[in-house]
Structures are given as structure tokens and as C-alpha cells.
Amino acid sequence: MKWKLVKQIFAMSSYVLLYNVVPCIWSGTALANSGGSRFVAVADVQVSGVVTSSEDGNPLPGVTVLVKGSTTATATDAEGRYEISVPESATLVFSYIGFTPQEVPLNGRTQLDIKLLPDQKQLQEIVVIGYGTQKKGDVTSSVASVKRDEFTKGAVRDAAQLIQGKVAGLRVTTPSGDPTANTQINLRGITSINGSSDPLVLIDGIPGSLNTVAPEDIESMDVLKDGSAAAIYGTRATGGVILITTRKNRGERSSIEYNTYVNVQTIARRPELLTGDDYRRLIQEEGIDYTDYGGNTDWLDEIMQTPVSQNHNLTFFGGNANTNLTASLNYRKWEGILLRSGQERFTGRVDLNHSMFDDKLRANIQIINRITSAKQGGADGYAYRQAIIRNPTDYVRNEEGGWQQRDGYFYENPVSRIYEANSENVVREMRMSGSLDYTLIKDLDLKLLVSHNEYSSLSGYATTFNHTDTWLNNRNSNASRGTSANRQNLLELTGNYSKSIGRNRFTILGGYSWQDEISEGFSSSNWNFPTDAYGWNNLGAGQALQAGQADMDSYKEKWQLAGVFGRLTYSWDDKYLFMASLRREGSSKFGVNSQWGNFPAVSAGWRISKEPFLQNVSAITDLKLRAGYGVTGTIASNPYQSQISYNFTRGNGAYIGGQWVPGFVPARNFNPDLRWEKKEEYNAGLDFAFLNNRISGSVDVYRRHVNDLLYNFEVPTPPYLIGSMLINAGTLQNEGLEVLVNFVPVQNTDFTWNSNVTYSTNRNKLVSLSNDQFEATNDFFTSGYTGEPIQDYTHRVEVGEPIGNFYVWKTVGVDENGGWLIESKDGEVIPINDAKQEDRQYYGNGIPKHIVGWNNSFTIKSFDLAVNMRGAFGYEILNFQRMFYENPKNPAYNMLKTAYDPVYGQRLNSDLVYVSEYIEKGDYWKIDNVTLGYTLPSDLLSFVKNARIYVSGLNLVTITGYKGIDPEGVNYTGFNPGNDERDKYPTTRTFTAGLSVRF
Amino acid sequence: MKKKLTLYMLVASIGATGLISSCTDLDEEVYSEVLASSFHPTEKDIPAIVAPVYASFRGLMMGWQGYFDLQEESADAIITPARPNGWYDGGTYLRMHEHRWDPLQWQPENTWQSAYRSITTANRVISQIEDGDIAIENGKESLMAELKAARAFAYYLLLDNHGNVPIVTDYRDASLPKQSTRQEVYDFVIKELTDALPLLSDDPSSTYGQLNKWGVKALLAKIYLNAEVYTGTPQWEKCIQECNDIISSGKYVLDPNYSDVFTWTNQNSKEIIFAVPYDEIYGPQNQVHMKTLDPLSRFVYAMQAGPWGGNCAVPQFIDTYDEEDGRLGDTWIMGPQKSATTGEVVIDYQKDVPSMAGTESNDGYRIGKYAIKMGATGGLDNDYPMFRYADVLMMKAESLLRTGRAAEAAELVSQVRERAFRATNPDKAVVTGDELMQGSTYEYGYQEEDGSITDKQGGADIKYGRFLDELGWEFAAEAHRRQDLIRFGVFSTKAWFNHRPSDPTKTLFPIPEGEISKNPNLTQNPGY
């Protein structure tokens, strides 16, 4: 061992020496030559060239250039250039840390430019875990890591879409085509009733969101999936943790990158509605009571546009080994498929690194500034509904050129709504953070991280005099303005000690964390303005506020979170791995007696491939068995839930003593005993790599119990004032299996094919819903709502049953009068008018049982092709589109072409009603993203290091039996998953063309 | 150098730590709520503390699917049929009409929840006064009496609608309440009201919208009037006694015009004894116009809201009116309606309604009793008269009629009818005792789509049916009808519109399913 160390030190010193003498070589002092005289070199030739990185085309300084089989060597200079005198038949070996060594026979050449491939394996090795990194081989819990080169290419909405379908168990979907909407993300099922199931997102260790930084600015994303990995983040980690690492300058990279794309969108699938001609035919042939205004208007066309969006990203790397920076500027302008909808976004980021005192002290400052602004019209789900139900024989405008309005219940000209309303929403986020990392003594690092984030929003909304609000409600210009501001502080102190003694290797981490946030806001509305020219910019000019009709509101709240944590990892001979961690965390959101909670975790791993009996099996590259257990928590969403407090409200006021007074009422049913939700999770997994990493992957099984669920428990009235109360009651269980397989079917110089498959399945169950305080209670609650005119709930969540069950009257036929026949609870066929609540039954579930992703990337010479596919199976969707529009009963509203089709052999003559007929199989397979890229020849333009052009299609093909717009454009979180709502912003298909250049 | 560096680090750490005041201070700072521990109410806060006891009546009475719907849609004068724009709503209105509601029906539960919200709030305030958390020097006893009277009023709503309900009087006791019988609830309410009486204000001018002595007496009269339904034992004399006290006090009179009682300035009415006050701004839950008017009617009143167009009068009920009865036009919106600005007819309300299942938007007369002022918003200013002087006269008349004093009763009824026929045919105002002894002219039976009546029952067999008709004309759309139909034995025995005779158990609503499952001490009412 001692000898080994000496050898290493020796090797290192010689490398440093070599590096230092490089300039000498260039200045012409032929150090190598003088050395060379010792060899009998018959016919030496001068060889020179430039070594660059194949990743970004940057020159690589300090690359060792060695003549194979000799000690003759040199190194590249700062511009990556080298010159060496070698025998004619020599083979040169180029090697550099972090890159795959390359052997090149000279074959008579004297000019040899080399592109070194980054050693993917080496980079892949590092996995970001909470408060540090770990080598992949050492990881004992369930952590998924996706690096930049594996990200989804093309126009992505936010960070989540970069890893869509690439992390088993993490589901990412886009439920809305609204350019201002976010992706929907869920890891390992639903974990909370009252709190959020969303994962904690940390950007370089600081809490943020999936769109805090531009997707282009992200280096890697790591997902802590199981409890043993996430427990170090305690109470915020039940939904999992996503660690986003931004791009950092490594070493002396100096380059400018520019990425851009332009895209267009089309609606994913158009509902087929009756046209004006259909109306006239039905009036004539069947005497249907439609009104024919004579026109033929395609209302969906009238409210849609062909959106053209663009994105520009400029990234700059510079500096030297001691001080360097990464700076980026991102501008994105997205248009929506509905008229006058879109969003503009600027994101700027500067990341500065500086090291001093022989690299003992490392400092980082990062500033991220993001401004999104959405200036839009009145395009929303309601306008979309109006376009669907509006009479297709009607006109957009009347003869006088004004909007053609008609009477009707919730019946408004959708185009007028879009043009006569204006809104603006500006969000500004400023994030400042700094860290100092100091190596106190050998092996001991201390780190201080502080950050301050400011987030504010300012919104305005106003209607003109020509808006339907004037016509319907006699409100002359209805304007509102709202603003909110959040300030969040974070301070973290960590110490990290790592040591190897013999074959023992261990690390100890200890830390303290503090987080607080203040949120406040103000909003006001007013109407009846003398002019609509003001918009929201002169609220005082309206009359409604003065008349007491309009509202004004403000609020402020604050919460604090403190934690201390520690972690120990130990490994013996890289073979037996162990990790234990504990976080003790306190939140102000809970009662004084239950503020603090402990969140422990343990995990262990066994690298079987390191055992002697497998060491000689060459097919097995790596094989590791691991198991872990961890506890995480969920905080109540809102602060003050345990406070005994009151409010003065107008709603609870009354006419007392001859005047109206506000009412003084308790803010809630008091529960000072509120405490954490706790999730306990067991996870076992297997990591494998065969055939020299040609096949690799992992398998995980888990079971998680969420205890002390925070739930708005139904309490009896009397004795309670309000029929529900937030208490800790109940247990939720999730269990599942996740598989990830990476394989490389073809790997040639000219053609490589990388492929990976993810599969996950999850089964959840509400185990109990009770509390020692309240024994007798419903063992179920209802969820989901159809909206008018059906006015019914859609789901029931019952103890012992999975979440997401539809609870509905099951249709079995239609009688001769066109009325639904349903199955009663006794199994008899009865008319729906005789149906009772107890005849409802479970029918399908909105959460997919199986989720599959299959991602492929091909490189054929200078071409690259990525094909990402994704599917979900074993679930149902409630198709609101059919429930509301596939029914000919109400000729006042337009409907689907299929409305007149017979159902069970009969034409329907029934009021709109929620029945099982509208619950459909949701299974789908999507060819989601196909990207074809071409890397331009490097010698095309001398000043360009690398240039690539690409075209990409997103949400290209969906293979499904589902009749709605998009089986994936459906909400699947919460307790009413699978409701494909009526009022929606339709999802789209996107075609993108892009360019990226490196200078 | 290392030492120096360590020092730097230390200084930096301390500096950063100093940015955040305390490293484990998790006390909540409350900004937008009033902490109980830091609030010390004084007498000026008492109105605000009392207000929530009354506030829930506002949402209940004329609010969405509230007490009004509960009393009217289960009876024979008002229906909410399906309209071209909806109003099937999962069959909820149909179930109300057909008496097929179940323990999940929202309208009865709404009354339960609102009543208990008032009761629990009253209990809380009473216990806070008793415990000294709310310190009061003067008028403590009359305040306590008023709180108990308001609580008893809420219990009266439960007594009438759900019957067998738990009696809870102590806020500090969070144990699951026990159920009481309807008799026990009746006894409790009578005792609470009787105890409160001597301590209550007798000044109507300073207690509008609150329970004063006369409001409590009217409430007692109402309970005695229905005592036979509640307990099996009639209390006609006690009812007469309470009515006499109110009449002889001279505090209240009949308003000169019937419509004065219901208009948007009816807080000035001399007839109203206990009202649930509404206000466009401060108490906007009176939505009776929103539910009844077609959206087009907004032009008639230049409304700042679009009404929803739902309920209307049962044609058979309209047919019972004397054409010269001014109350027909004062209660219902009928015929062509003209835009306030253009004078054009925007909608023409027709009497006929084909069925619960299918109607046109203008089918059926609309509720116009609560006069809609020009520029009305989504909440009417009109107060809901819970008890009014005409009611007192009619309660006394009914008690007299039922105890063999028909002629005396007829005098009171004629007194109430006077203003209804003053402008048209004053002679018709006078009724005789003999007439009051006759049956009802309501053509009970099932209405077919063409308007014809099948399964005819008529109303001739209803004892004092004519008096029931009188109640119908005077109190139409005042949320009286269900109670009156029950007292006259009509509620579950007759057919009207698309309703067929139901079951006697339907005279009580079910205990809400949700409450039964949360409190095992509760037993469901018979028939559910």
C-alpha cells in the first residue's frame, strides 16, 4: 500500500512537472530531443497537431502525448497544440483525465489532430445525493441520475421534460397545452391527502422549482427516489427529491454557446363537432329543434392560431483554474394554440467560482434572475367550452360589425371573450446564493451555504365595454390587480469528513439547516368605469369598490423550518457498503408539542461482482444488491393550522343593533396537536452492468406507508362548528416495482445505438382513515366534481381500496325512450330515474398500473437521431368531452358528431348524467419525441468549434383507443385522477427546428 | 496562514449565522389572524361576537338550496323543473318534488348544518361569557337571553324539519352528542324561550333582525300552532295567548300595501316581527331572484348579474287564486317582460309548465314577491320576513277555527285579505266562518304534459281546506308551505304536478348520512 502511494505521488509529480515544462518545449528548448538522443532513433519525424474535446470542441491543455512502448512524451499547451519528434512507425497515445485514452498509429502522417472523447463512464460514476456526491458504485439507496447528454432534445417546457420517461417511477406529463402551465410530475404515487405529493426540487442545493433555471442550463438531474435516500431532507422529501445541478465551468473551459429553436404547434386531436350544414340537415331531416342562423362557422378555428415560438440561449464559459465563471442568458417566447395566449421569459444566471490558498478555500456565488411575463387575452378553458357548444350556423360578428351575442345559460361568444379581455401576469424571481467550502484539515471540509430568494408576482386583468360581462352582468369594464411577494432565506452549515484506512472507507457528514419564508399579497378589483381605456391601471376610477361591491384583500404569513442532520457512510473493500442518516427537524407549522420530528434512514449494499467467485466472470461488469429504509415527512401546506385564532369577516356579520357589523369567528376548528405526516419506506434494489456496460440498469421494489396522514377529517356538527377539521388520521400505502435497463445494441465508429427502457408499476391503498379522537367516521370520502349541469362527484376514496376509483352508476343499456338503464346494487336492471346513491359502484381507476418508457438514440456518422416513446397502461379516463357533448338532448348547445349515434342500439334521450358509459380505457403508447440532428463538418468554419442543426417533433403519434383529445393530457394526481375535464386548454403537437453552435 | 484562514471562516460563519436571528426559534408569527391569546374583547366587540349566531340564517333562508327550497320545493306551489339550460342537477329538484330524497340530499342537510352552526356559535359565546373570557358589565343577562333565544330558534328549525336531533348546550363538551326525541326537543325549545322572554328587549326599533320579546312570542305561537304535529298534543289556546300578547302590545300593524312587506326597503315595515336581514353589500345571500328569473329578465331590471332561470309556480296552485286577488300579481311575475332601456319585450312568462323533465325557458310564473330593484346585483336587498303581523293574525285565526270559533277566525282572515282586494273588489275581502270550514279549491291530481289532470283528488276533502288556501295566497313563496301542508294533512297524501302521494314518514327529513356516520349515537328517522 505504501509503495502504491509513493508510485501515485511520483506519477502525479511527474505529470505536474511535465505540465510546467510545456512552455519550454514551445520556446524551442528541445527537452524531448535531448532526451531523445538516448534512443537510437533512425528516422525521427516531427509530428504536430491540436487536441480538442469532442464534447465541446475546446482545446485541451496538458494532454499527455506518449509514444507507445517508450517514455518519450510531451503535453499540449494552452491552445491544445503539441509537437513531438517520434519514429516514423510510432503509435501515439493521447491521455487526459476525464477522457478516454486514444491510440493512433502515425502511418506516415506528420499532422495529427485529435478529438478526445469524454469518458462517459467516469462522468456517469458521480451521483449527486443530499449534501454531497457519491460514486455510483457506492450508492446504497434508490437514486436515478440523468446527465446532460441523455436529456430530451428539442423544445422542452421545463426541467421535468428533460428526463421524461427516463427515470423509472417518475411520471412526467403535460396535462395542458397552455404555454404558462407546468408539467405534472409524480414519483411513486400519491403520498399525501392535504399536503403536496410534489417532489422537493433543489437547484444546486437551494429549494426552487422545475422552471427556476432554463433547461439549457442544466448539467444533470438526480432523483432521490426512496426513503433512505431522501430522509436527509426530512420533512420536505416525502414526494422524493429532485437535485438539479446547473452547468459549471470545469477547469479552464473557455467558450460561447448559442442555442436556438423555433417551433409551431397544432392541436393534438380535434373534437369532431356538428357543422352548420349538419345543423341544417338535422333540422330538415329530423326536425331537430336547432336554430339556423344561416352561417357555417368553425368556432374552434376561430379561437385557435398557429403558434410560432422561439427560444434563444447564450452560455458563456471563461476563466482559469482559480477563478472561472459560467453565465447564461435565456430568452423564450412561447405562443399558445388559443388566440392571444403566450408567455415571454428571460432567465439570466451567473455562476462564479474562485479558489484560494492552494485550493483549500473554494467560494461560489450564483445569481439567477428570472422574469416571466404573460400578456394575454381571455383565452381559457371556458372560452374553449364556448367554442365547442356555440351554434355552428351562427356568426362571429353581427351585421353592424359588433360581436354576435345570443341569450343562453353560460353561452357566450368565445371570440369576443378572447378579444375583449386583457391580462398580464409578471413574475420576477431573484435568487442569490453564496457558498464557502474550506478544507480545514486533510479530509475535512466545512461548507457554508446561504441564499436569499425573492419571488414576486404582479397581475392585472380587465375587460372592455364590449366584453360579455357588460352584456350579461351590466358591469362596465371589470378590472383587478393583484400582487404577491415571497422572501425565502436558507442557511446551511455542513461538515464532511472522509477517510480511508486500509480497505475501510468512511465519510461522516454533519450539518445544520435553517429556512424561513414570508409570503404576503394584496389584491383589489373594481368595475363600472367611465371608460374602458384604463384597463387595470386606474382602479380608483371605477365605482363598484366605492359602492362596496368589489373586493379588496391582503394577507401575510410566515413559516420557519430548522434542522440538524448527520450521515455516516462506510464501505469495506468497495464490497460491503453501509449508510445511515438522521435528520431532526422542526417546523413552525405545527403545535408547540409536536414541532420536532426525527427522520432516520439506513441502507446497505453488497457489490457481489467484487466477490472472488464473480471476479473472473468477464460478462459481469458490476452487480450490486442494496436495501434501505427511511422515514420522511410532510408538512401541512399552510401555516397556522394549529393556532387558536379568530377573524372578523363580513360573511359572518349580521345586522345587530341597527347596523351591519362583521362577525368574529374562529379561524378553524382548533387542533393544537397537529403533527407531521410520516412516510416509512422500504426499498430493495439491484444494480447491474454486463458485457462491459453494454447492458446495465437497475431494479427496485419498494413499499411505503404514510402514517398520520393530515386529513380534513369529517367531524360531527354538533359538537363542532365546522364539519371538517385538519387532524392526523389514516395511513396510505404505496408499493411498486421499477426497472431501468440501458443497452447498447450497436457500437461502431460510424454507428451507435443507445437504448433504455424504463418500467414502473405502483399499487396504492388507503389503509385506514381513523384517529383515536374520532372512532366512528365514514371510511370513505368523495372527490372530483363534474360541474354544471350534472353536479355530481366522480370518485370515492375508501379504506381498503386504491385511490383513483371512479364511483358511478354502471350503465347496462338504454330503454326504448332513450333513457339510461343501470345496474342496481342488487344486480337488477333499473331505469336511471329509479337509481339511488347506493346503486353506485366502483368502475375503473384513473391511475395507470403500468408506465413504460423506451428511449433510443442513434449516431450515424454526423447524424444523430433520438426517438423517445412512452406509454401508460391499465387505467381508465372519465371522458368529460363525451359526457357533456355526446348527448343530443339539449339543442341549445352544439355537440359532437357522434351525439346522434345509437348507444346500446338506441338514440339517447336523457339529461346529461355521470354514468359509466363515459369511463373509457386510457391505455396509450406515444411516439413522443423524435429528433434528427446533423453535426456540421468541423472544418466548415474555422471559428466555429461545433455546430449542430436539428428538427424535432414532440407528441408526434399517440396510439390509443381513448376517444378524447389526449389520454396523457389528463390530471392524474390528487384524489380525482383520470378526470379529463371539459374546460381545458387543449394539448398540442410541436414541430421544432433548432441550431446550436459553439465558438 | 492556516490559522488566519480558519479565523476568516469562523468570522464568515458567525456573520452568516447572525443574518438569521435565532437558529431554532419556531414560534409562529401571526399577521392576518387574531390570536385568541392576545384578544381581549370589550363591550364594543359584542355585536361582532353575537353576529355569527344570526349570520348563518342568512345563507340558509334564501341562499342556494336553502330553507326556502326545502319548504317550497317539497310542497305544492313551487317547482324547479329541468330547463333548456340545465337544472336537472343529478335529479335533486325532482327528488324534492317527488319526496324521494335520501339521507344524502343536500337541502335538508344544509338546514341541519346552518342551524347547528348558529347553535355551536351561540354555545361558544355563552360559555365565553360564563367563563369571563368576554367581560361584560351591563346587559349581560339580556344578552345571554337573546343568545339562548336565537339558539332556540335554530333548534326550532331542526324540530320542524329533522325532529329527533341532539341537544347540545355546552361548548366545552366535545363528546359525541346524544340524540333527543322530537318531544324532548319541543320541551327544550319551549322552556328556553319561556325562560328568555322576561329578559328580552321589547323595543322593536332597536332590535330589527334580532330576537326580541315579540319575535320570541311569535316563535312560541308558531311552535304551539304545530304542537300537534310535533308532539301529538295540540296547543291552540297557548298559540292564541301568544298571538294576543303581540296584538295587544300595539307594536305591530299590517302594512298598508301587501308589497310593502317584501320590498327592498322592508326594514322599515311595521308588520315584520322577526326578519333575516339581507343587504346588497353586507349580507348578499338573498338569491331568490337569481334562481327564479330567466337570464333575459336582467334587462327588465337592468341587473348587474345574470340570473339562472330555474324555479317557477305550479300551474295548479296559480289556478286557485281569485283573479281579483292583488296578491297574485304581487307574488308572481307573469306575462311579457319589457327591457328597462328599450321597452322591448324580452321574455313572456307563461303559466303552463309541461313537466319536471322538459320545459321552455319561459314556462311558469316566477317569484316576484321580493320586489327586484333596478340595477339589482346577485344578492337582493330585501329582508326575509320570518314572522310578520299577518302571520300572527292567521295563526290566531287558525287556532280559533280549529277550536270552533270560525266566525272570529273569519274576522281576522278578512282583516288580512282587506288590502289584497282593496283596489279591485273590496267586497271579496270578506270571508265568513262557513267558508273557512269548507275544503280547498286546489285541484289536486297528477298533471300530464298537455296540462290535463289525471288521478284527480281535488281538495274538497281537506278539513279547513279553505283556510289552507288562504295561507297559500297570503304566504306563497315565504317558505311556509311544507309546514302548512303537513298540519292540514296534505303533504304526503295528495298529488300535484308530477308529484304523487308519498309516505307519512316524509313529513320529517332524514338525519344527514354524513352526521350519522360521524356520530354513532344518532339513529335515522323512520322511513329512511
Q: Each residue of B438-472: pLDDT tens digit? A: 999 999 999 999 999 999 999 999 999 999 999 99
Residues A790 and A913: beta-carbon distance below 8 Å: yes
Cα-only R_g, chain B = 27
Contacts (Cβ under 8 Å, ≥6 apart) of A13: none
Using the beta-carbon criterion (under 8 Å), do B206 and A658 form an inter-chain contact? yes
Alpha-carbon distance A379 to A307, whole Å? 14
Strand ranges inside A861-982, DSSP E: 863-873, 876-879, 919-921, 924-935, 946-960, 979-980
Helices (H), A852-978: 880-885
Confidence (pLDDT) at B271: 97
Using the beta-carbon criterion (under 8 Å), do B24 and A586 form an inter-chain contact? yes
Q: Is B85 on the interface with A (CB under 8 A)?
A: yes
Q: Is B23 on the interface with A (CB under 8 A)?
A: yes
Tens of pLDDT, residues A892-941: 899 999 999 999 999 999 888 999 999 999 999 999 999 999 998 877 77
Of A129-143, A836-850, A858-872, A906-920, least confident by mean pLDDT is A129-143
* Of B120, B166, B308, Cβ closest to residue A720: B120
Q: Is B161 on the interface with A (CB under 8 A)?
A: no
CA distance A857 to chain B (A): 47
Using the beta-carbon criterion (under 8 Å), do A554 and B32 form an inter-chain contact? yes
Dihedral Cα A969, A975, A976, A978, nearest 10 deg:
40
pLDDT of B54 higher than 50: yes
Location of C-alpha cell 275544503:
B439
Alpha-carbon distance B341 to A615, whole Å? 94
Using the beta-carbon criterion (under 8 Å), do A719 and B210 form an inter-chain contact? no
Chain A to chain B, count of Cβ pairs less than 8 Å apart?
264
3-state SS of chain A: helix, strand, coil percent to 5? 15, 50, 35
The residue among A950, A926, A924, A955 whose CA lies nearest residue A936 is A950
Alpha-carbon distance A419 to B381, whole Å? 35
Q: Is B21 on the interface with A (CB under 8 A)?
A: no
Q: Is B149 on the interface with A (CB under 8 A)?
A: no
Q: Which helix (H) or strand (E) holds B10?
A: helix B2-19
Strand ranges inside A502-549, DSSP E: 504-527
CA distance B303 to chain A (A): 6
Residues B107 and B86: beta-carbon distance below 8 Å: no
Q: Is A721 on the interface with B (CB under 8 A)?
A: yes
Tens of pLDDT, residues B409-422: 999 999 999 999 99
3-state helix/strand/coil string of B433-487: HHHHCCCECCCCCEECCCCCEECCCCECCCCCHHHHHHHHHHHCCCCCHHHHHHH
* Of A547, A556, A790, Cβ closest to residue B90: A790
Q: Which domains are present in chain B?
A: 41-180 (1.25.40.390), 288-367 (no CATH)
Topology (CATH) of A2-118: Immunoglobulin-like (2.60.40)
Alpha-carbon distance A215 to A245, whole Å? 11
pLDDT of A208 higher than 60: yes
Using the beta-carbon criterion (under 8 Å), do B88 and A646 form an inter-chain contact? no
Q: Is B92 on the interface with A (CB under 8 A)?
A: yes
**Mutation for testing the A interface, residue in B518, B523, B524, B528 having most A CBs under 10 Å:** B518
Closest alpha carbon within chain A to B113: A717
pLDDT of A5 higher than 60: no
Confidence (pLDDT) at A723: 76
Residues B239 and B211: beta-carbon distance below 8 Å: no
What was the ipTM of the complex prediction?
0.92
Helix, strand or coil, per DSSP, at residue A810:
coil
Confidence (pLDDT) at A26: 35
With pLDDT > 70 as the criterion, what percentage of chain A qualifies? 93
Sheet arrangement for strand A979-980: A919-921, A876-879, A979-980
3-state SS of chain B: helix, strand, coil percent to 5? 45, 10, 45
**Identity of the residue numbered A176:** S
Using the beta-carbon criterion (under 8 Å), do B28 and A589 form an inter-chain contact? yes
CA distance A731 to chain B (A): 19
Q: How far is CA A567 from the centre of its chain?
A: 28
Confidence (pLDDT) at A895: 96
Residues A494 and A446: beta-carbon distance below 8 Å: yes
**Mutation for testing the A interface, residue in B33, B65, B95, B299 having most A CBs under 10 Å:** B33
Q: How far is CA A372 from the centre of its chain?
A: 18
Tens of pLDDT, residues A676-688: 889 999 999 999 9
CA distance B103 to chain A (A): 10
Alpha-carbon distance A557 to A667, whole Å? 14
Please name the residues between 84 and 143 in chain A that touch chain B, using a CB distance below 8 Å. none
pLDDT of A750 higher than 80: yes
Helix, strand or coil, per DSSP, at residue A629:
strand
Using the beta-carbon criterion (under 8 Å), do B55 and A654 form an inter-chain contact? yes
Rounded average pLDDT over A466-474: 89
Of A274-283, A654-663, A965-974, B517-526, least confident by mean pLDDT is A965-974
Judged on CB neighbours under 10 Å (0-12, 13-18, 19+), B302 is middle
Contacts (Cβ under 8 Å, ≥6 apart) of A121: A693
Alpha-carbon distance B492 to B452, whole Å? 22
| Statement: A122-246 belongs to CATH 2.170.130.10 | yes
The residue among A132, A308, A323, A327 whose CA lies nearest residue A213 is A327
Please name the residues between 454 and 483 in chain A that touch chain B, using a CB distance below 8 Å. 472-475
pLDDT of A263 higher than 50: yes
Q: Is B345 on the interface with A (CB under 8 A)?
A: no
Using the beta-carbon criterion (under 8 Å), do A657 and B175 form an inter-chain contact? no
Query: Which CB contacts under 8 angstroms, 24+ apart, belong to B131-135?
Result: B133/B41, B134/B41, B134/B45, B134/B46, B134/B49, B135/B40, B135/B41, B135/B42
Tens of pLDDT, residues B78-116: 999 998 877 888 789 999 999 999 998 999 999 999 999
Q: Is A657 on the interface with B (CB under 8 A)?
A: yes
The residue among A401, A560, A381, A404 whose CA lies nearest residue A488 is A560
Q: How far is CA B95 from the centre of its chain?
A: 20
Q: Is B7 on the interface with A (CB under 8 A)?
A: no
Rounded average pLDDT over A948-952: 94
Q: Is B17 on the interface with A (CB under 8 A)?
A: yes
More confident residue, A880 or A268: A880
**Identity of the residue numbered A281:** R
Where do the structural domains in chain A lie, given as residue ranges?
2-118, 122-246, 252-376+379-418, 420-589
| Cell output for A250 | 470545469
- Residues pairing with A171 in the sheet: A186
Closest alpha carbon within chain B to A436: B9
Alpha-carbon distance A154 to A172, whole Å? 16
Using the beta-carbon criterion (under 8 Å), do B119 and A475 form an inter-chain contact? no
CA distance A33 to chain B (A): 42
Confidence (pLDDT) at A120: 54
| Cell output for A235 | 420533512
Tens of pLDDT, residues A296-314: 999 999 999 999 999 999 9
Residues A899 and A886: beta-carbon distance below 8 Å: yes
Residues in A closer than 8 angstroms to B17, CB to CB, are 491, 493
Confidence (pLDDT) at B5: 54
pLDDT of B163 higher than 70: yes
CA A502 → CA A134, B79, B149, distances in Å?
Answer: 19, 88, 85
Q: State the helix-helix crossing angle for B236-249 and B213-225, rounded to 10 degrees.
A: 150
pLDDT of A183 higher than 60: yes
Please name the residues between 892 and 951 in chain A that touch chain B, using a CB distance below 8 Å. 892, 911-914
Residues in A closer than 8 angstroms to B105, CB to CB, are none
Contacts (Cβ under 8 Å, ≥6 apart) of B126: B144, B147, B148, B151, B169, B171
Residues A141 and A224: beta-carbon distance below 8 Å: yes
Closest alpha carbon within chain B to A489: B20
Residues A330 and A376: beta-carbon distance below 8 Å: no
Contacts (Cβ under 8 Å, ≥6 apart) of A525: A478, A479, A480, A481, A539, A544, A545, A550, A551, A552
Of A152-161, A646-655, A876-885, least confident by mean pLDDT is A152-161
Residues in A closer than 8 angstroms to B85, CB to CB, are 408-411, 789, 890, 892
Q: Is B295 on the interface with A (CB under 8 A)?
A: yes
Residues A150 and A165: beta-carbon distance below 8 Å: no
Q: What's the whole-number average pLDDT of chain A?
A: 88
Alpha-carbon distance A703 to A227, whole Å? 10
Degrees to nearest 5, angle at CA A628 with A622 and A630: 145
* Band of pLDDT at residue B19, cut at 50, 70 and 90: very low
Using the beta-carbon criterion (under 8 Å), do B9 and A644 form an inter-chain contact? no
Confidence (pLDDT) at A802: 93
| Cell output for B452 | 290535463
Using the beta-carbon criterion (under 8 Å), do A718 and B120 form an inter-chain contact? yes
Q: Is B97 on the interface with A (CB under 8 A)?
A: no
CA distance A591 to chain B (A): 9
CA A764 → CA A726, A783, A849, A975, distances in Å?
Answer: 22, 17, 10, 12
Using the beta-carbon criterion (under 8 Å), do B117 and A446 form an inter-chain contact? no
Using the beta-carbon criterion (under 8 Å), do A776 and B519 form an inter-chain contact? yes
CA A943 → CA A50, A58, A549, A648, A826, distances in Å?
Answer: 14, 11, 66, 69, 80
Alpha-carbon distance A832 to A6, whole Å? 87
N-term to C-term CA, chain B: 87
Rounded average pLDDT over A223-241: 90
pLDDT of A316 higher than 50: yes
Cα-only R_g, chain A = 32
Confidence (pLDDT) at B22: 53
Please name the residues between 424 and 483 in chain B that touch chain A, using a CB distance below 8 Å. none
Confidence (pLDDT) at A133: 86
Q: Using DSSP bridges, classify how beta strands A805-808 and A323-335 pair: parallel, antiparallel or unpaired.
A: unpaired
* Band of pLDDT at residue A47, cut at 50, 70 and 90: confident
Residues A92 and A106: beta-carbon distance below 8 Å: yes
Residues A624 and B62: beta-carbon distance below 8 Å: no
Please name the residues between 347 and 386 in chain A that touch chain B, using a CB distance below 8 Å. 357, 360-361
CA distance B205 to chain A (A): 8
The residue among B23, B307, B39 whose CA lies nearest residue A515 is B23
**C-alpha neighbours within 13 Å on the C-beta side of residue A757:** 10
* Of A514, A657, A664, Cβ closest to residue B206: A657
* Of A650, A715, A716, Cβ closest to residue B282: A650
Residue A256 main-chain phi, psi, to 5 deg: -125, 135
CA distance A800 to chain B (A): 18
What string of DSSP letters covers A658-717? TEEEEEEEESS---TT---EEEEEEEEEEEEEETTTTEEEEEEEEEEEEES-EEEEE--T
Residues in A closer than 8 angstroms to B34, CB to CB, are 645-648, 664
Q: Is A595 on the interface with B (CB under 8 A)?
A: yes
> How many residues are given for chain A?
999
